[in-house]
Amino acid sequence: MSGWTRKDLLGLDELSADELRIILDTAKAFKGVGERSLKKVPALRGHTMVNFFVEPSTRTRTSFELAAMRLSADVVNISATASSLQKGESLKDTALNLEALRADIIVLRHSSAGASRFLAERLKASIINAGDGAHEHPTQGLLDIFTMIEKRGSLEGAEVAIIGDILFSRVARSNIYALNKLGAKVTLVGPSTLVPKAFEKLGVKVAHRIDDILETADVVNLLRIQHERQRKEYFPGIGEYIKLFGLTKARAERLKPGCLIMHPGPINRGVEIDSDVADGDQSVILEQVTNGLAVRMAVLYLCAGGVGLPS
């Protein structure tokens, strides 16, 4: 399959179903590479990737770094505290400097929605969005979907419940956009303050009782409560949240036997998910992390101009 023409990956909202499939197919091929003893391919030899993380991250940054290394790219990591943004330099100027150093790919994590688009419109380098505010986290959405498809085949008609803090979640948005395009039926579950009814305009169902989805879901994707993004209280406390929306053992037992339990991490054991449930048979949380590597290799490869599938 060919047809990838974008230099950037900014979000899943703007991708077609075909473009999503190109990435997923490419990721599948790269997953095979990851299972060999020699895990490195020369696809991006001579390319420079800058991991530009203005907002903290361990998992995503490491995953991109490893993905780039496996493609034989040279990798530089920049964090907010180490960058000149601290000295008052604008995002645009910092990025122009990175480009002047001939970075081919810039992976940007930023607290402002639209930050990656802002760079993509101004730089020749490929911009990969590694999370922009509450807007999108496309590679997380892709790895979630890659995992769902790997485990259960087509998503056509699949019931996917996304549970938790949807309002502030870029992961939820990227999931919603892509799942809708691939034919899944999405239900958002959470407190009415964090899952406002207006989300229905995005083509999803909204529920405020976890009971509504337990027996019908094919996938439950649990999101962390993002304290750092909430400027005020959206619910009275963690205790009440667990009682209403936590995936407790009792609730997990009511899930269909084949229902996948997913979480983008970092997990808060005992809050959105019971500790044993997180480690249980239906949990694919760590497989998501492994798949993230393959998905990010695919994204880097495609945006850097790679064509066809790696052999």
Partner 1 sequence: MSTLRIFNGRIIDPANGRDEKADLWIRDGIIIETPADGSKADSEIDAKGRIVAPGLIDIHVHFREPGQSHKETIGTGSQAAAAGGFTSVVCMPNTSPAADNAGTITLIREKAAASSCVNIFTTGAITKGLAGEELAPYNAMVGAGIVAITDDGHCVQNHEVMRRAVEYARMFGLVVLDHCQDYSLVGGGVMNEGEWSLRLGLPGWPRIGEEIIVMRNILLADLCDSPIHCQHISSGGSVRLIREARARGVKISGEVCPHHIALTDDRLQTFDSNYKMNPPLRTERDIEAIIGGIADGTLDILCSDHAPHAKYEKEVELDQAPFGILGLETEFGLFSDILVHKKKAIDMARLIELYTAKPAKLLSLDRGTLSVGAPGDVTLIDPDLEWVYDKEQSPSLSRNTPFHGTEMKGRAVQTIVAGKTVWSL
Binding site for partner 1 (CB under 8 A): 13, 90-92, 110, 112-115, 117-118, 132-136, 167-168, 170, 173, 196, 198-199, 201-202, 231-232
Q: Closest distance between partner 1 and the C-beta of residue 136, in Å?
A: 7
Give the shortest CB-48-to-partner 1 separation in angstroms: 24
Q: Which is nearer to partner 1, 47 or 170 (CB)?
A: 170
Two tokens at 125? 């380098």
Kindly state the smallest distance separating residue 45's Cβ from partner 1, in Å.
33
Nearer to partner 1, 31 or 137 (CB): 137
Rounded least distance, CB 3 to partner 1, Å: 24
Q: Min. distance of Cβ 104 from partner 1 in angstroms?
A: 23
Query: Which of 70/224 has CB closer to partner 1?
Result: 224
SS3 218: coil
The DSSP secondary-structure symbol of 110 reads E
Nearer to partner 1, 113 or 309 (CB): 113
Nearer to partner 1, 51 or 116 (CB): 116
- Comparing CB distances to partner 1, the nearer of 90 and 192 is 90
Both tokens of 305, joined, read 């101009």
- Which residue lies nearer to partner 1 by CB, 15 or 259? 15
Q: Minimal distance in Å, beta carbon 97 to partner 1?
A: 15
Distance CA(107)–CA(49), nearest Å, equals: 7
Determine contact, residues 23/303, Cβ cutoff 8 Å: no
What is the spatial distance between Cα 225 and Cα 271, in angstroms, rounded to a whole number? 9
Structure token digits, residue 283:
């949990």
Closest among 166, 171, 97 to 131, alpha carbons compared: 171
The count of other CB atoms within 10 Å of the CB of residue 86 is 10
Phi-psi region of 157 (alpha: psi -120 to 50; beta: other; left: phi over 0): left
Please tell me whether residue 119 adopts helix, strand or coil conformation.
helix
Rounded-to-integer distance, Cα 181 and Cα 175, Å: 10
Judged by CB, which is closer to partner 1: 27, or 167? Answer: 167
Cβ at position 176, least distance to partner 1 in Å: 9
Measure CA 174 to chain center. Answer: 7
Sign of CA dihedral 132, 133, 134, 139: positive
Cα Rg of the chain (Å, integer): 19
CA 301 to CA 311: how far, in whole Å? 13
Work out how close the CB of 298 gets to partner 1 at its nearest, in angstroms, rounded to a whole number.
Answer: 24
